[in-house]
Amino acid sequence: MKSKTHRSPMRRYTTALLLLGGLFLISPLASAQLATCTGSEEYYVQWPKDGVPVWEMCFVTPENSSAADGSGLELREVYFGGYQVFERAHSPMLFADYSSSTCYRDWKDVLSNFLADNETIGGVMAEPTMPVETTCDLSQDPDIPVFNCPYATGRPGSDCFEGVAVQWEANQLILSTQYSAAWYKYESRAFFFDDGSIEFLFGFGNSDGTGSGTTHWHHNYWRLDFDIDGTSDNDQVFLNDTLQSTEFSDLRDATGGPMGGPVTWSVIDQASGRGYRLEPSANDYNLIHNESGSNYHEVDLMATQYHPGEFADNPDNFLSDCEMDETALVNGESLAGEDIVLYYMAGVKDTAGVDMMICKKAGPRLVPIGDWGPVTDVIFDSGSFE
Ligand SMILES: [Cu+2]
């Protein structure tokens, strides 16, 4: 069980008052920073960029991310409206599974440059004024690879950046990065919207066409360590609306939920009723379950009990160890009154001779449940916060 800093209701109330003051007095006020970002290589980001934060978090770049051979874009201490959502959100398991016998468990800790101008912290952070463009964004021809930054865009090489690009839009905060495993260029993005919803998006780019003659599947597992309200010992997991008491794995089902809707999964703080519902995106359903027949990546969702230092099914990350062993994570432990970690997989298929080099993206949406308090009420009442 992790020890957690409990945030006092008074502090949240103060946050709300500060926000109201900011709205009505139109004066810059000191922000009530909750995410501490005092760990090694952690960097603080809030949205809006100035004033009282609606979203707060720390990020680390892929090269400093946790887990064996990294975990890509890693976010820690994520807060919405003054309440904690995640202790950590990252992508520690990443696979490329070929229709031949080849299969890789890729590394996730090697930065790869992409187009993001206005680098503000060298090798760490950019605050782009121009569009962010990754290998995946630009790889849209079925046969022709885009190679390396600055690609063939005509943009200057000085716009090529390694690290995390942060964009403050009118209604959302966007963090983007790219990392490489040899010719593969993986894009990881996170979108934090003003209504509290979150989207995670993963793009599976190929810089030079290596392996393009062989149909293959890519799978990325996000690891979402929820600590709703900062209390790690009382989150509950729901399959649709049914409380679950024991660890489980599951598959996407677009019509298998209530009234023919999709199957979803929720994590809700037992005390406050605040939580998040995880919904697959439309693209996530494009991946056919175990289509390769390898039986390597057989589950889309795992609801597990938190264990310190457990970031994946395996403490190592050997390239050839391509099977994701769900039994190492889902093994009958309790989910009742526990610290909860959800793993969620989305992936894509690249088909030889059809759409191989057209880069595809996938990833879930998370929607807030319950009352996220006066801060968010003010945002909803006043429209866009900025
Ligand atoms: Cu591919």
282-334 residue pLDDT tens: 999 999 999 999 999 999 999 999 999 999 999 999 999 999 999 999 999 99
Question: Is 29 part of any domain?
Answer: no
Closest C-alpha among 275, 104, 102, 133 to residue 205? 133
* Of 234, 223, 229, nearest in space to 5 by CA: 229
Number of independent structural domains in the chain: 1
338: CB partners within 8 A, 6+ apart: 233, 235, 305, 306
Report how far ligand 1's centroid is from the alpha carbon of 215 (Å).
8
Residue 4 belongs to a domain = no
Q: Is residue 30 part of a domain?
A: no
Measured in Å, residue 206 CA sits from the centre of ligand 1 at: 6
Centroid of ligand 1 to alpha carbon of 214 (angstroms)? 9
Rounded to the nearest angstrom, the distance between the alpha carbon of 110 and the centre of ligand 1 is 18
- Asked if the structure places residue 131 within a domain, the reply is yes
Distance CA 370, CA 139 (A): 40
Residue 36 covered by a domain: no
> What average pLDDT does range 50-71 have in this prediction?
97
CA of 140 to the centre of ligand 1 (A): 13
Distance 185 CA to ligand 1 centre (A): 10
Strand 125-126 relative to strand 164-168: parallel, antiparallel, unpaired?
parallel
Q: What is the Å distance from ligand 1's center to 326 Cα?
A: 23
Gap from CA of 227 to ligand 1 centroid (Å): 34
Q: Tell me whether residue 372 is in a domain.
A: yes
Ligand 1 centre to CA of 118 (Å) is 30
CATH of the domain at 332: 2.70.98.20
Helix axes of 9-25 and 373-382: crossing angle, nearest 10 degrees: 20
pLDDT tens-digit map of 127-181: 999 999 999 999 999 999 999 999 999 999 999 999 999 999 999 999 999 999 9
8-state DSSP, 11: H
Over the stretch 259-278, which tens digit does the pLDDT of each residue have?
999 999 999 999 999 999 99
Domain range spanning residue 121?
A: 9-23+41-382
pTM: 0.90
Task: Please check whether residue 28 lies inside any domain of the structure.
Answer: no
